[in-house]
Amino acid sequence: MMKKTLVSSVIAILLITTLTGCKKRAEYFPNAPEDVTFSEPFVVELPAESSYAEKRKFIDINCDGIEDMLEVRDTKFWSQEYEATVFLGEKNKDGYLHFTSNGMYSFKLPMEKSWASTMTKIDSADVNGDGCGDLVFTEYKAGFSEDTYIAKIALNQGDGKTFKFATEQITETLPLEEVILRFIDSFDTSSQEDLASYFTMDWSDANGDGRDDLHLFWKNNRDLYGSVLLSMDVEHVLSEFAFGDEREFVLNNYLTTRNGGEYTLRRLDTEDFDGDGIGDLILHLNSGTRIDLAPALGQMDGDRLTYTVNKMSSGTGADLDFFSFEKIDTFDVNFDSCADYVHLGVLETKGKKTRSVGVYKLSSCNN
């Protein structure tokens, strides 16, 4: 797997800035295609019973082919006891996804995050391709000489209420130069950049086999480095899971903003925006009611995973109340099998009661 540390990133930034200056995004991608664009935003209300939970996941949990909303929370202060509340998704009168409290239910998740983990992400994915959403605790443990990736998975048994649990772990020995850089970095107290700004993990189907795969992303200056661990089932048993082959890629200058700045990896998401069954990438940047969306469409060329950077789509976004809750995600809201951009939060309107909403921007889709 590819590794880029903060020390090497800082060196690269100084060298590249000195040699080339700060180019704007359009200068790096002057002939980028415009295969995917996004609509003007519109608002769909969330159920009044929904909370301000930050851990909010979207997956088809009851296996009916429609995305549902899960609020995941730790119900214990001094220990870990996770619970998920499900708001079922349905099609509204306008043909768009909305979530309802009718039939809402909760279930316990007997899964724990390791206190020794460098990063843990609670996520949703269909890791075995059965059409039912699973829940995943993905953990990254960074060491001086090796890195470990752990997936603790609650495998849906077909009803959204019964789960079997599986754990898969991969440990990688680091090359000597990386060990030295990490040792030096351990004495550097000047940087305030946190791990989530330059490393992240996410799940989407990278090879079109119906199973979501684990994506690992690193940021180096404006370049995006990625490794994908392909998911495979074990003898087609729903209670088993394993990682298969690995795919790697580099997208040079992809993390460049419109005006020549740099995206952090907090702004990166993976989903299928063009309906070909293979996960794509998207960067999002909100500034007041303005939104920039920068997709890169994924393709499988034999065993090689590649991405085509598309022209940035800019337009009106949503200016929601930052102090309540905010969640940005991508999933299909108009039932065309293509992911759309979704911004959830609290909308304050003059003369009206504060309400929790989802602001949708539809992808143009290609299917």
**Residues forming beta bridges with residue 91, ordered by sequence position:** 97
> What is the percentage of the chain residues whose pLDDT exceeds 70?
82
The mean pLDDT value of the chain amounts to 84
Please report the pLDDT score of residue 186 as a whole number.
52
Q: Report the pLDDT value the prediction gives residue 121, as an integer from 0 to 100.
A: 87
The pLDDT value given to residue 241? 73
Q: Which one-letter DSSP state was computed for residue 265?
A: G
The pLDDT value given to residue 158: 93
> In terms of DSSP H, where are the helices of the chain?
6-20, 25-28, 176-185, 195-198
Q: Both ends of the chain: CA-CA distance in Å?
A: 33
Is-contact 124 136, C-beta < 8 A?
Answer: yes
pTM across the whole model = 0.86
- Rounded to 5°, angle at Cα 171 from 169 and 176: 170
| CATH architecture of the domain covering 6-361 | 6 Propeller (2.120)
pLDDT attached to residue 70: 96
Question: Residue ranges of the chain with pLDDT lower than 70?
Answer: 1-21, 54, 79, 114-116, 144, 174-194, 233-240, 322-323, 349-353, 367
Taking the C-alpha atoms of residue 89 and residue 68, their distance in angstroms, rounded to an integer, is: 5
pLDDT digits (tens, 9 = 90+) for 71-102: 998 877 776 788 999 999 999 999 999 999 99
Specify the pLDDT at position 76. Answer: 74
> Taking every pair of C-alpha atoms in the chain, what is the biggest distance, in angstroms?
63
What's residue 143's pLDDT? 76
Strand segments (E) across 157-211: 163-173, 199-204
3-state SS, residue 362: coil
Query: Structural domain boundaries of the chain?
Result: 6-361
* Residues contacting residue 320 through CB under 8 Å, at least 6 positions apart: 326, 343, 344, 345, 346, 347, 357, 359
